[in-house]
Amino acid sequence: MTHFLPEGTVKIAAQNLGVFYGEKQALHAINLDIRAGEVTALIGPSGCGKSTFLRCINRMNDMVDGARVEGSLTLDGNDIYDRGIDVVQLRARVGMVFQKPNPFPKSIYDNVAYGPRIHGMAKDQTELDEIVMNSLEKAGLLGEVEDRLSESGTSLSGGQQQRLCIARAIAVSPEIILMDEPCSALDPIATAKVEELIDELRENFTIVIVTHSMQQAARVSQRTAFFHLGKVVEMGDTEQIFTNPQHTLTQGYITGRFG
């Protein structure tokens, strides 16, 4: 990755970021830095705005009618919501993995090749093959699907489907991967494989993960942000958040004392 920044540099920065769905304000004045080469976990109760924040980063909220953003959200210093930024280009730089594994009802190969195809990343078939194989390899799935690339992506098990979705996301060579509760539909073994994968991907990608499992946030992330009622209550090193949170709300949430 040539565009890779040294670990610890601020990759994404939110300043006074507010998001509205029609009249309803979903995020209030968010100030948050996401550092390159780290896994940042976003935790908080349902409806706290963590997914909304995640979907701001690749402008997925654009798809929602009446969604409005104020304040600034920058990627490498450029405002994501600037008129000059093209959504398609942004999403090529910011990949996303969703809560429910959602492979296209196409072959495994076509699933992974879709992104490179629409972005014209491969000059010929050989190059495309290479990208697909590499991505499957990086997603730790190649060994399991090597001899059945033409089978439907939906024929895989849940955990394999989710790793296929990760392979599909990294096939576009994004800089950032957003994960929206990627393991909530998986069993513990599949979850462990995905978590191991996240740990490996950290080498090459900046990862932002929304999770409901505090244990998962603790296991995979270096930094954790706690959201509550559309605000960031606390952001810090994962170790500190889980052993000695500074805010009573954070403390209440992670120890299971929420009103």
Name the site residues for other proteins (rule: CB under 8 A). Answer: 58, 60, 63, 65, 88-92, 95-96, 98, 100, 102-105, 114-115, 118-119, 154, 165, 168-169, 172, 214-215, 218, 242-245, 248, 250-252, 254-259
The least CB distance from residue 151 to other proteins, in Å, is 14
Please state, in angstroms and as integers, the Cα–Cα distance from residue 13 to each residue in 16, 44, 144, 168, 231, following that order: 10, 20, 38, 26, 15
Place of tokens 């929602």: 64
Exposed e or buried b per residue across 126-165, where buried means at least 16 C-beta atoms within 10 angstroms of its C-beta? eebeebbbbbbebbbbbebbeeebeeebeebeebbbbbbb
The least CB distance from residue 25 to other proteins, in Å, is 20
44 close to 227: Cβ distance less than 8 angstroms: yes
The least CB distance from residue 16 to other proteins, in Å, is 26
Residue 32 or 92 having the CB closest to other proteins: 92
Residue 7 or 62 having the CB closest to other proteins: 62
Residue 74 or 135 having the CB closest to other proteins: 135
209 close to 39: Cβ distance less than 8 angstroms: yes
The torsion defined by the Cα of 226, 100, 203 and 170, in degrees rounded to 10, comes to: -130
The least CB distance from residue 60 to other proteins, in Å, is 7
Residue type, 230: G
The least CB distance from residue 185 to other proteins, in Å, is 11
Residue 28 or 93 having the CB closest to other proteins: 93
Q: What angle do CA 70, 73, 79 make, to 5 degrees?
A: 100
The least CB distance from residue 51 to other proteins, in Å, is 12
Residue 49 or 115 having the CB closest to other proteins: 115
Assigned token pair, 10? 């601020």
Residue 36 or 92 having the CB closest to other proteins: 92
